[in-house]
């Protein structure tokens, strides 16, 4: 079915196609016809962060920035979804065009820049959803907040999303907000994580609820920096790490006509590097921190290899654009076969 729809969507501007697809997914779910949209994945219960996931395959952040389609997306068969990135105040994001398809590479370059309706709108959406599944909320900073005040934006969002989120992801790795990735350096990272953990402690007793905090990291880190981050995250008791966000590197698509477009590259060309980062992190943190592997999953085989590299859970975004919703059941089926020991 997606094979028929895809050429029509790909004939449209990527953001227009995105808007139409979201409307179609929402309308299909509301009419109760969502079972026709995608094959239902098998069950593959997975317990992480003291929560039971229907299966370990999730939707990565950025597709539903305002948490406006939580139930429709969960109904597609994801074991969990992550909404956002959300910021304290609404903001329009970067000027268009800001999203580009590279079909010959099964890739996307985006420089959206956290276009979103603000954290209050997202919380309202998520709170009113039925939520038959796990919902993580990804938080960031406004573009016009000076980087030295970034911590305040994260604390502001954390306080608001804490009661409704199953987990909170702190996004310090988007390449499309100036200065954001500098928060991955040792000192700013230690300070940020320390403040967030303090706030989490207070929120835990205020709401009588445990909401784990995860950090999402970039693939463009030197090994030494990655090792330093792993140590800081272990020391601070960060509860999960998402590896990785999009890359600013263009080595994997060298010579492509769109290689000069600024922004984050995702999809197939990101697979190798994001998986290397994942496996290095696993070697550094041992079994102490659950890791979510994301970056370039385009098939069941890719999903299995990410788990073999150390992922506890998985996410995808670009694979969904190129392969359609059946990618979900393909990946869960492959993961189940791996768990049952038949591959």
Give contact residues for ligand FMN (rule: CB under 6 A). 60-62, 65, 85, 99, 108, 110, 112, 114, 138, 171, 174, 216, 245-246, 266-267, 270, 294-297, 316-319
Catalytic pick from 174, 274, 279, 329? 174
- Is residue 123 within a helix (H) or strand (E), and if so which, with residue range? helix 119-127
With b for 16 or more beta-carbon neighbours within 10 A and e for fewer, the 129-146 pattern comes to beeebbbbbbbbbbbebe
User: Shortest distance, CB of residue 142 to ligand FMN, whole angstroms?
Assistant: 13
CA distances from 288 to 159, 170, 182, 214, 243 (A): 26, 19, 25, 13, 16
Q: Please state the closest distance from residue 244 (CB atom) to ligand FMN, in A.
A: 6
Least distance to ligand FMN, CB of residue 245, Å: 5
Other beta carbons within 10 Å of 152: 14
Nearest Cα to Cα of residue 250 among 240, 261, 234, 242: 261
What is the distance between the alpha carbons of residues 169 and 315, in angstroms, rounded to a whole number?
A: 13
- Sign of the Cα torsion 216, 222, 223, 224 reads negative
| Three-state secondary structure call for residue 102 | strand
Q: How far is the CB of 67 from ligand FMN (least distance, A)?
A: 12
Instruction: Between 183 and 209, name the residue whose CB sits nearer to ligand FMN.
Output: 183
CA distances from 102 to 36, 262, 322, 325 (A): 28, 14, 10, 19
Nearest 5°: the CA angle 47, 336, 6 is 105
Known catalytic residue at 128: no
Nearer to ligand FMN, 44 or 59 (CB): 59
CB of 219 to ligand FMN, least distance (A): 9
Strand 167-171 to 99-102 pairing: unpaired
> Measured from the CB atom, is 28 or 87 closer to ligand FMN?
87
Closer Cβ to ligand FMN, 138 or 142, answer by number: 138
C-alpha count within 13 angstroms, C-beta hemisphere, residue 151? 14
Closer to ligand FMN by CB, 25 or 316: give it: 316
> Which residue has its beta carbon closest to ligand FMN?
62
> Which one, of 236, 240, 84, 228, lies nearest residue 165 by Cα?
84
Is the Cβ of residue 216 or residue 280 nearer to ligand FMN in the bound state?
A: 216
Residue with token string 């506890």: 312
- Residues carrying an active site annotation: 174
């Amino acid at each position: 079915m997606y094979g028929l729809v895809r050429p029509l969507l790909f004939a449209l501007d990527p953001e227009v196609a995105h808007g139409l697809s979201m409307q179609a997914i929402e309308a299909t779910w509301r009419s109760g016809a969502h079972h026709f949209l995608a094959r239902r994945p098998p069950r593959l219960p997975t317990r992480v962060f003291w929560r039971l996931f229907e299966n370990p395959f999730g939707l990565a952040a950025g597709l539903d920035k305002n948490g406006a389609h939580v139930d429709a997306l969960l109904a597609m068969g994801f074991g969990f979804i992550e909404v956002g990135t959300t910021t304290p105040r609404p903001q329009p994001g970067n000027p268009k065009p800001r999203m580009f398809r590279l079909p010959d590479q099964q890739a996307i370059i985006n420089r959206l820049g956290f276009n979103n309706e603000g954290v209050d709108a997202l919380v309202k959406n998520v709170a009113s959803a039925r939520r038959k599944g796990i919902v993580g909320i990804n938080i960031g900073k406004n573009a016009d907040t000076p980087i030295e005040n970034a911590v305040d934006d994260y604390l502001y969002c954390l306080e608001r999303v804490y009661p409704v989120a199953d987990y909170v992801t702190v996004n310090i790795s988007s390449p499309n907000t100036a200065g954001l990735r500098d928060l991955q350096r040792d000192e700013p990272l230690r300070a940020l994580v320390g403040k967030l953990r303090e706030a989490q402690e207070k929120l835990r007793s205020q709401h009588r609820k445990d909401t784990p905090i995860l950090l999402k990291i970039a693939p463009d880190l030197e090994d030494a920096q990655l090792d330093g981050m792993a140590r800081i995250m272990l020391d601070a008791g960060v509860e999960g790490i998402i590896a990785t966000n999009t890359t600013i590197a263009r080595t994997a698509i060298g010579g492509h006509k769109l290689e000069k477009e600024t922004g984050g590259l995702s999809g197939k060309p990101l697979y190798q590097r994001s998986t290397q980062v994942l496996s290095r992190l696993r070697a550094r943190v041992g079994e102490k921190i659950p890791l979510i592997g994301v970056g370039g999953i385009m098939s069941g085989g890719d999903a299995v290899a990410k788990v073999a590299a150390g992922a506890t859970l998985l996410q995808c975004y670009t694979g969904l654009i190129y392969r359609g919703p059946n990618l979900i059941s393909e990946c869960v089926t492959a993961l189940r076969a791996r768990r049952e020991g038949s591959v």
